[in-house]
Amino acid sequence: MTDFEMTLFVAADPSRVWDAITGDEGSRAVMWGSALRGDLVPGGRYEYVGPGQDGDETVHVYGEVLQAEPGTVLQLTEHPGPTYRENHAELRSRMTWRLEPAGESLTKLTFINDEWSEGHPAEAETSDTWPLVLSSFKSWVETGRALPFPS
């Protein structure tokens, strides 16, 4: 299984970056109109919900919160939404967002997507998808505009 890791620096403090990752506005701007819903506490459940095959409330991704320390770390298990795969509960990976202060109004953001279950269909796309998503988060935080995703 292939782990994906990317580090970038965002011109904002960690609390602002955290808000972009977990808040409705930043999430919808970057995650194809989906909002992060759920209880962001260890053991809590979450979903990315937004427009899709099942209408405006399509569950695109869901899982369990492993760690959640605002402004520091968000670690989640990930399963594709039920709409996408019959065996969605068997397909799993782990996503980790680490935020560190790197100077005045500067955050070092390290994202890792690892622990892929065998046959997870998103694994092959991760090296193309995550750089775009992470760059779009950076753009949204710094300019208020997400990147235009290719169709």
Report if residue 103 sits inside a domain. Answer: yes
Report if residue 151 sits inside a domain. Answer: no
- Residue 77 confidence (pLDDT): 98
Distances (CA, A) of 16 to 20, 54, 65, 107, 118: 6, 32, 20, 9, 35
Tell me which residue range forms the domain holding 111: 4-143
Region 127-141: mean pLDDT is 94
Report if residue 41 sits inside a domain. Answer: yes
pLDDT at 150 over 80: no
Report if residue 135 sits inside a domain. Answer: yes
Mean pLDDT value across the chain: 94
CATH of the domain at 63: 3.30.530.20
pLDDT per position as a tens digit, 27-82: 999 998 999 999 999 999 999 999 998 889 999 999 999 999 999 999 999 999 99
For the chain, the domain total comes to 1
Report if residue 150 sits inside a domain. Answer: no
Report if residue 137 sits inside a domain. Answer: yes
Q: How confident is the model at residue 121 (pLDDT cuts 50, 70, 90)?
A: confident
Report if residue 149 sits inside a domain. Answer: no
Long-range contact set of residues 19-25: C-beta below 8 Å, sequence gap at least 24: 20/137, 20/140, 20/141, 21/74, 21/97, 21/137, 22/70, 22/74
